[in-house]
Amino acid sequence: MAEKLVESFKNQLPICIVRPGAILGAHKEPLLGWSNTSSSISQYYHMIFSGAYQTLLINPNGRFAITPVDYAVNTILAAAWRRGTFSDSGLVVYNCVPKSENQVLHRQVINWGYDTVQNQSNAIIRYIFSPGYSTSKFMFRWKNRLFFELCSFLMDPFGQNGKHSLAMQQLKACSIAQTFMPFSLNEWNFITTNMERLELEMNPKDRIIFYTDFGEINWE
């Protein structure tokens, strides 16, 4: 709906659309991993790798359309420059996502994350094991509810203190997982030719400052 509204003004205003994937923490700027919002995919990963889930609502073999926040910002700035410099016919859409040759699978991200947790975290965190996967929303909620109930019983057998806080954690964990369902359960085939053309039209200095080439990212 938002894109249709923007498109309706294409003959009146110099506009274009930048369409990122799930927003991830920064790749480079202002610093590696930087994120200024709790609604990014980085918050979801933080909960996954801290043991918040027994089962993940994820298709492990699906390709993941993720966009570092600095890549999204750079693309917006570059697209605005191009739209103000050149006269395009029609509405130009920039799919700010990984190229087909540099895409990443969900299970790769999860495996890399848990390898890092096991090798670089403190002794307690190392006991967190990689969870299972499910593409069923019902099974995801059911298995995680059993998991939280068991944790609640072990922490507070008489139900006096821990259940309320664990219930709130479960609610937050399920809410975040469902927010990213469109990305975690589905594969999206984005055409990125406009992104490649945008990069070529920038001069070499601007390409360094406003980097947009997903091919340069080593996801691991």
Q: Return d(Cα 156, Cα 46) in angstroms, integer.
A: 25
Task: Please choose, from the candidates 144, 153, 133, 140, the residue with its C-alpha nearest in 3D space to the C-alpha of residue 59.
Answer: 133
Interval 61-81: pLDDT, tens: 888 888 999 999 999 999 999
Under 8 Å between Cβ of 22 and 65: yes
Q: Report the sign of the C-alpha dihedral through residues 111, 38, 214, 32, in that order.
A: negative
User: Which helix (DSSP H) or strand (DSSP E) does residue 98 occupy?
Assistant: none
Q: Do 55 and 140 meet the contact criterion of CB atoms below 8 Å apart?
A: yes
What is this structure's pTM?
0.79
Residue 158's pLDDT is what? Answer: 52
Confidence tier at 117 by pLDDT (50, 70, 90): confident
**Which range, of 6-20, 71-85, 151-165, 195-209, averages the lowest pLDDT?**
151-165
Total Cβ atoms within 10 A of residue 41 = 23
pLDDT in tens, 17-70: 999 988 888 888 888 878 777 667 888 888 888 777 888 888 988 888 889 999
